[in-house]
Amino acid sequence: MVYPELQNKIFLFLLATVSIAFGWILLPFFGAIFWGAAFAILFSPLFRKLLVRFSGRRNLAAGVTLLLCVLVVILPLIVVVSSLVSEGTRLLEALRATPLDFGAFYQKVVHLLPDWLVNLLARQGWTETTNLQAKLSAMLSQGSQLMVERVFNIGQNTFDFLVGFTVMLYLLFFLLRDGASVADSIRRALPISNDHQRLLIGKFNTVLRATIKGNILVAAAQGALGGVIFALLGVPGAMLWGAVMAFLSLLPAVGAALVWGPVAIYLLVTGDVWKGVILIAFGTLVIGMIDNVLRPILVGKDTQMPDYLVLISTLGGMALFGLTGFVIGPVVAALFIASWDLFRIEKEGRKG
């Protein structure tokens, strides 16, 4: 005879084991699954409108939504990436043709520094051009080896990307078509109250939409403005640097400045004072203002999280999950806050 309590414990153990095993099996496709689910949430309002327009034909509505997602999001991204590869190739060829004199540039920078900082650099061997070139050569050698390894692995990486991309599109179609029933099954299986489910699921959807749409709009605006000002100032590879600024602007407050700041310093040190001043003014007043104005409106207003928490969770998410982490980090942080708020409210309610 099996006692009910023992039977329940055995079943829970089995449930936990097969769930962990299933997650382990899906782990290689984590990025594809996550972005498939994310795009399904983002495009679900469009799917519902098309479902009404197509008289409830779910396959047709899901197929058209998937096609629009590819045309609006994925194809433009492929075009931008291919353009950036061409821009990067031209920039490398230009650097090979006219290499930068890092030694002379570094000496100019050293002369502008205060004495205490120069003495500190001297003790570390960073003021002599010979030592600097040796260290730069070592760094470049390591970088070259890394590039060679990446080139050898490019075939495998391309295959993995195509497989993940196919899985994402395949999953996106079915999540659009059957997402409501899947979500309902998950809600009925969760061992928490309906009120808590609605709050947590609503929080997840809100933060996901705000993080993706808000950060992408801010990144696009900062990258475009950065590329335009670089082009007007005659900085080589303006489009490429604009894309780098767009990528780094996913980090709140500090992102784009990591690109235009060093370039402005380079312009000042090499004698293009007015260009450097213009870039600093534009970066601070225009590019920085976008981050200070648009991001709180598009991201912070919906996530209801302070900027420092968004920054820390974004950095942590990207460190663990790569580019996908700029969404996962803030979502996890928002769910963390919401869960502890629910726990606090319940605890206070029990005391009352």
Q: What is the pLDDT of residues 87-143, one digit of tens each?
A: 666 656 655 555 555 555 556 555 555 666 666 666 656 555 555 555 555 555 554
Phi, psi of 58 (to 5 degrees): -65, -40
Evaluate if residue 242 carries a pLDDT over 60.
yes
Max CA pair span of the chain: 89
Average pLDDT, the chain: 75
Evaluate if residue 48 carries a pLDDT over 50.
yes
Burial per residue of 20-40, b for 16 or more beta-carbon CB atoms within 10 angstroms, e otherwise: eeeeeeeeebebbbbbbbbbb
pLDDT of residue 152: 47
More confident residue, 105 or 182: 182
% of residues, the chain, pLDDT over 90? 1
Distance CA 321, CA 324 (A): 6
Which of 71-85, 93-107, 268-282 is the least confident region? 93-107
Which of 69-78, 118-127, 216-225, 268-277 is the least confident region? 118-127
More confident residue, 173 or 315: 173
Distance CA 282, CA 256 (A): 12
pLDDT of residue 127: 55
The answer to whether the CB of 129 falls within 8 A of the CB of 106 is yes
More confident residue, 142 or 323: 323
**pLDDT tens-digit map of 300-315:** 566 667 777 777 887 7
pLDDT of residue 321: 82
pTM above 0.75, yes or no: no
Query: Measuring CA to CA, which residue among 270, 307, 291 is closest to residue 225?
Result: 291
**pLDDT tens-digit map of 156-170:** 556 677 788 888 888
Evaluate if residue 298 carries a pLDDT over 80.
no
Q: What is the mean pLDDT of residues 273-292?
A: 83
The answer to whether the CB of 241 falls within 8 A of the CB of 259 is yes
Evaluate if residue 184 carries a pLDDT over 50.
yes
Burial per residue of 167-176, b for 16 or more beta-carbon CB atoms within 10 angstroms, e otherwise: bbbebbbebb
Query: Quick one: tokens of 200?
Result: 């947590």
pLDDT band at 39 (very low <50, low <70, confident <90, very high): confident
pLDDT of residue 121: 63
User: Residue written as tokens 């391309």?
Assistant: 158
